[in-house]
């Protein structure tokens, strides 16, 4: 969600943890930023990134937990987080699964 601001400051590239589980969507977002395609950027922010951030921002440490959960959902189990962090709840994993599926094949 900060990629456009970084670009405006002269930073032409960025890295996002979502590349680990929705790489096509992440690349589409990057390409839209690079091309100043504001419609696509806005659509992807609304459809994926804001709901994703809603889950991620619920607890301290969820920035790690949500990436591990996303990777597991697409078949790349990275194991549980280490204490003091906690994994997403089953309900949150289900919400993330809906978001990932909504973005289509990756």
Does this model's pTM top 0.85? My answer is: yes
Collect contacts of 3-6 with beta carbons under 8 A, ≥24 apart.
3/29, 3/30, 3/33, 4/33, 4/41
Q: What is the per-residue pLDDT across 74-105, written as a single tens digit (0 to 9) for each? A: 999 999 999 999 999 999 999 999 999 999 99
Given a contact cutoff of 8 angstroms between Cβ atoms, the answer to whether 47 and 102 are in contact is yes
Spatial distance between the Cα atoms of 32 and 24, rounded to a whole number of angstroms: 12
Average pLDDT, the chain: 96
Contact status, residue 60 vs residue 66, Cβ threshold 8 Å: no
Domains of the chain, by residue range, sit at 3-102
């Amino acid at each position: 969600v900060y990629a456009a601001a970084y670009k405006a400051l002269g930073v032409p590239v960025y890295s996002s943890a979502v590349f680990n589980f929705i790489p096509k969507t992440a690349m589409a977002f990057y390409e839209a930023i690079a091309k100043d395609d504001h419609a696509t950027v806005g659509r992807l922010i609304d459809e994926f990134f804001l709901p994703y951030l809603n889950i991620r921002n619920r607890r301290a440490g969820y920035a790690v937990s949500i990436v591990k959960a996303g990777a597991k959902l697409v078949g790349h189990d990275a194991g549980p987080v280490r204490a003091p962090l906690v994994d997403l709840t089953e309900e949150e994993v289900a919400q993330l699964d809906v978001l990932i599926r909504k973005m289509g094949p990756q």
